[in-house]
Amino acid sequence: MQFHNTLSGRKETFSPQHPDRVTMYVCGPTVYSYAHIGNARPAVVFDTLARVLRRRYANVVYVRNITDIDDKINAAAAKEGVSIGVIADRYTAAYHEDLAALGVVPADHAPKVTEHLPQIIAMIEKLIAAGHAYAAEGHVLFHTLSFPDYGKLSKRDEQSLMAGARVEVAPYKKHAGDFVLWKPSTPEQPGWDSPWGRGRPGWHIECSAMAEALLGETIDIHGGGHDLIFPHHENEIAQSVCAHGGKPFARYWLHNGFLNMAGEKMSKSLGNVTLVHDLVQRLPGELLRLVLLTGHYRQPLDWNEEVVADARKKLDRLYGALRELADIEPAAGVRAPDSFVAALEDDLNTPAALAELFELARAANKAESLSDKARLKAQLLDSGLLLGLLQQAPEAWFSWSPPQSAATALAPEAIEALIAERIAARAARNWAESDRIRDQLKAQGVLLEDSKDGMRWRYA
Ligand code: AMP
Ligand code: ZN
């Protein structure tokens, strides 16, 4: 397997620390509002990577944390007059629900910051003892000048480090680039007792401590969105390396590109967000997943109605091929073709893998022998599984209807009854009646399609 490693800036052959075991940590959401489709990109990308890794390695441990201590959560809780737990629980549940709709398999562990305060405090104490951090006025700061490799991941020099961090110059800091490990809470703010008084951890130390608690001192793969390289991941490295006596923190750093809208990063601060929660009301989750996999994970990806329409056509084609094979038993023991797996093992090249998948569908449409059909069906399904696609019955894909309108949509039995009437009308050469029924169904959001197997229907 090969991955582009942000740390070295080039593609490298992947070899885990232990031959059979791979550890992966991906920064999860800060749970103060619903996830937008840009936030879903790392979740889908690293879920796909986990699937590919699991095929090759017997033991993959995938951790994606929940950031449930953060000033944005405090602000949301204060605004609603509830505790931070209420906000965090609500949006953690929504996050997992949204991801399930996108076919994201739960990570092996989803640690919460609120459950790791002792580990966070212990790590800060270690950093102070080792001379990499200092306490001042209720704060604890990491002293960036104490770590010569600071800036190596983001390839920043001293000057751009300062510019990028938009660091506050505070009187208690030894150096303007020093960042917070612990900060004091006012009586109204959520806080936890610590050797430095009642307070709360900074965002970066949370991930370092949870990664260590669940995966140990050195992990194989660390992932997240491109925006996390600096300062978040740079700071995670500084903390973990210094707390572990110089041992490397993560061996391969993988970062996904942004999901953009009209060329701009989708983000809450810009206000150009489309929530997964809303999208799944009008689009199948599998379609959203395919959109996120159409581009290479490192490249920017534009979100618009066109890419959505295009993904729908693609899934129609793939499920169309599978529908033609409905009566065929997939060949036993046949797995995804090597070329398909090789594409994914080459820095998770999903566009190349998808091209292979369409090649399989094309071959399936042309196949004549039973054995070819059985083999191609098995290959389509197993390749689909690696991408988290094609696992529902073709009929379920073609008859997907939005949950909101489910109550008003025509029930399948009513549709079948109207189709039977239309078939009878056509048999009697009553074309006017046949057209009327077709138009009536169309007006009620049902599309008809003639095929060699008879009349098919789908919700528009
Ligand atoms: P946040 O909840 O803002 O910390 O973001 C959660 C994850 O989503 C992080 O890995 C971010 O890097 C990622 N992310 C945020 N916005 C985008 C975007 N527009 N495109 C891709 N990834 C994003
Ligand atoms: Zn993190």
Residue 124 located in a structural domain: yes
Ligand 1 closest atom vs CA 30: 2
For residues 179 and 132, membership in a common domain is answered with yes
Residue 57 located in a structural domain: yes
The reply to whether ligand 1 has any atom less than 6 angstroms from the CB of 39 is yes
- Which of these ranges, 152-161, 218-227, 447-456, has the smallest mean pLDDT? 447-456
Query: Per-residue pLDDT for 408 more than 70?
Result: no
pLDDT band at residue 459 under the 50/70/90 scheme? confident
For residues 354 and 219, membership in a common domain is answered with no
Q: Which residues surround ligand 2, an ion (CB under 5 A)?
A: 27, 207
**Average pLDDT for 104-129:** 98
Q: Whole-number mean pLDDT of the chain?
A: 94
Ligand 1 closest atom vs CA 227: 12
List the domain range (segments joined by +) for residue 171: 2-261
For residues 333 and 185, membership in a common domain is answered with no
Nearest CA to ligand 1 atom 21: 258
For residues 448 and 318, membership in a common domain is answered with no
274, two tokens: 């489309």
Residue 339 located in a structural domain: yes
For residues 177 and 209, membership in a common domain is answered with yes
Instruction: Using CB atoms within 10 Å of the CB of residue 292, give its burial: 0 to 12 exposed, 13 to 18 middle, 19+ buried.
Output: buried
Percent over 70 (pLDDT), the chain: 96
For residues 213 and 96, membership in a common domain is answered with yes
Q: How many angstroms separate the first and last alpha carbons of the chain?
A: 41
Prior bond to 300 cis, omega within 30?
no
For residues 334 and 215, membership in a common domain is answered with no
Query: Per-residue pLDDT for 289 more than 70?
Result: yes
The reply to whether ligand 1 has any atom less than 6 angstroms from the CB of 265 is yes
The reply to whether ligand 1 has any atom less than 6 angstroms from the CB of 16 is no
Query: Per-residue pLDDT for 406 more than 50?
Result: no
Q: Which ligand does the CA of 236 lie closest to?
A: 2
Residue 225 located in a structural domain: yes
Instruction: Using CB atoms within 10 Å of the CB of residue 450, give its burial: 0 to 12 exposed, 13 to 18 middle, 19+ buried.
Output: exposed
252, two tokens: 């391969």
How many structural domains comprise the chain?
A: 3
For residues 344 and 440, membership in a common domain is answered with no
The reply to whether ligand 1 has any atom less than 6 angstroms from the CB of 151 is no
The reply to whether ligand 1 has any atom less than 6 angstroms from the CB of 261 is no
For residues 34 and 95, membership in a common domain is answered with yes
The reply to whether ligand 1 has any atom less than 6 angstroms from the CB of 224 is yes
For residues 390 and 423, membership in a common domain is answered with no
Give every CB contact of residue 36 below 8 A, 6+ residues apart in sequence: 266, 267, 268, 273, 274, 275, 276
Length of the chain: 460
Query: Per-residue pLDDT for 414 more than 90?
Result: no
pTM of the model: 0.89
